[in-house]
Amino acid sequence: MKFSPIFLLAALCTPFLQAQTPAEAAPKKKRAATVPAAGAEAAAPQGVVTQSRSVVKVNATSQRHNVHLPWQKESPSGRRGLGVVLAGNRVLVTGQMAADATYIELELPETGQKITAKVVAVDYEANLALLESPPSDRQKAFFAGLKPMDIDTSARIGDEVAILQTGRVGELIKSPLTISKVLTRRYIVEGSGFLVYEANNIVRSEANSFTLPVVKGTKLAGLLLSYDSKNQVTTILPAPIIEHFLKDVADGSYEGFPNLGMEMQTTQDEQFREFLGLKPNAPGVLVSSVMKGASAEKAGMKKGDILLSVNGFSIDSRGDYKDPQYGPLSSSHLVRGRAYVGDKVEIKVLREGKEVVLTSELARKQPGDHLVLPYLFDRGPRYVLMGGLLFQELSRPYIDSFGEEQRGGAILRLARIASHPDKYEEEGRKKLVFLSLVLPTPSAQGYDRLGGQVVNKVNGKAINSLDDLADAFKNAKDSLHVIELDEFPHVLYLDAFNAERDNMRLLNGAYRIGSLKRLE
């Protein structure tokens, strides 16, 4: 059995080990906002604090929205894991643990004492969340016997680490592992690669294991991401990413992890290198695309450039650089792991045979700024329902809900648009509005086989977001709504009076529709 992160869907509702589930200096304000020293509140000597007093059970109830019937929610489900106690009576867990949570509680492993908690910071791209319980006498009593855990970012290939779990009566269980690889890959959000450790050995399966700490000695080395029991390979979210997250949170204005916003193509093929004008042993990879509004575009990078270096680190033909701690590593870590939003970045490229130095400030493209939403945690999909026609903004969760095997026809077309949105971004679209479903109403008769169609105009108004669509439906032409699509049949017509009548029938009818739109 292999466990790997599954974006938003069933794995988010299942305990981790029981189902298939993925230095450049910081700017002054981030350097000043350091993580409080763990154990600073206690006078006990180093080493006296036991690991069993640095973890708590975390129980969460989650309920996500239905991406196909966005006015509905899925059935509630429970998650259980172990959180790491940090300074300030806060608890660290993975972002998956907190996603779509309607209720969270902390529990002492040995006594079963419980207290409610809430999310104070979360980054779903980095798969990290910070919990805390509101200040009270009960909170003070709960944390009185607990001790914060230090963070150790020194792990390297060959180091020994251990996964922590608790048994039925709260006893601490340790599964030893050896780090075998350090690389970058996505955690749970498509298109966001981060540093990971891979480690080898058997991991004992226990209940309550959706989130598990990984320690090096007595300090936190990471959080468990996945475990492949067949090959005995564990994937770990490492301490440097955790430290970055906590430092960013500490100054009160969380900005997230920056990225360049570009795609690379390796240049290992000799004929390809000759075509690009690269010498046999010269560094560099081809820039195959540049994301609109991201750091690379702001710096002036262009499609077709040869990326040579980032902040003085040479980029080889595979897109790697030589990290002083880990050895060869993807150049994405130079930005995602070693820098903060607002840091200066210097990029050297080869353009038309000449070296060009580009400089800019690193930025993070916010999830809501993407044409296709990368995730939909903690909120429902935006939608507009008119006469039985359901319109939504395209998102990765919607595409992923069909699985690889079911991505044919319109869904395959939408997936391709999500991967290559350049055309629609150049048109000035903020979001991609599409017809996602046709309900059986008199107004929609004959349109029942349509779905997955991109909407271009409604009643003559260009549709660049769902807000545009809602406004356009207020102005019918000659008592007709005229809907222009990207693909066949290209134009749909709705009788405005009949569509409103069908809207009233749909409200609180068989589909349990409480509202005809969600625009917040």
CATH number of the domain to which 225 belongs: 2.40.10.120
226 vs 34, which has greater pLDDT?
A: 226
CATH number of the domain to which 275 belongs: 2.30.42.10
Provide the residue type at 35 as one letter: V
Q: How many residues does the chain have?
A: 520
Percent of the chain with pLDDT strictly greater than 70:
89
Residues 269 and 241 in one domain: no
Q: Is residue 366 part of a domain?
A: no
Q: Given a cut of 80, is residue 139 above it in pLDDT? A: yes
Residues 399 and 310 in one domain: no
Q: Given a cut of 50, is residue 175 above it in pLDDT? A: yes
Residues 286 and 307 in one domain: yes
Q: Are strands 172-186 and 480-485 parallel, antiparallel or unpaired?
A: unpaired
Last residue of a domain, one of 204, 223, 250: 250
48 vs 240, which has greater pLDDT?
A: 240
The answer to whether the CB of 374 falls within 8 A of the CB of 396 is yes
Structural domain that includes position 351: 262-361
Nearest one of 375, 352, 383 to 467, comparing CA atoms: 383
Mean per-residue pLDDT, 10-37: 38
Residues 140 and 181 in one domain: yes
Report how many domains make up the chain. 3
pLDDT digits (tens, 9 = 90+) for 350-398: 999 899 999 999 999 888 999 999 999 999 999 999 999 999 999 999 9
Going by pLDDT thresholds of 50, 70 and 90, the confidence category of residue 406 is: low
Residues 232 and 311 in one domain: no
Going by pLDDT thresholds of 50, 70 and 90, the confidence category of residue 27 is: very low
Residues 184 and 141 in one domain: yes
pLDDT digits (tens, 9 = 90+) for 42-51: 333 333 336 8
CATH number of the domain to which 438 belongs: 3.20.190.20
pLDDT digits (tens, 9 = 90+) for 388-400: 999 999 999 999 9
Provide the mean pLDDT of the chain: 88
pLDDT digits (tens, 9 = 90+) for 191-216: 788 999 999 999 887 765 678 999 99
Residues 441 and 463 in one domain: yes
Q: Is residue 156 part of a domain?
A: yes
Going by pLDDT thresholds of 50, 70 and 90, the confidence category of residue 225 is: very high
Q: Which residues pair with 61 in a beta bridge?
A: 78, 103
The predicted structure's pLDDT at residue 405: 67
Q: How many CB atoms lie within 10 A of CB 197?
A: 27
Residues 295 and 192 in one domain: no
Residues 212 and 75 in one domain: yes
DSSP conformation letters of 412-447: HHHHHHHH--HHHHHTT-SS-EEEEEE---STTTT-
- Assign residue 52 a region: left if phi > 0, alpha if psi is -120 to 50, beta otherwise? alpha
Residues 274 and 245 in one domain: no
The predicted structure's pLDDT at residue 3: 39
Last residue of a domain, one of 218, 250, 282: 250
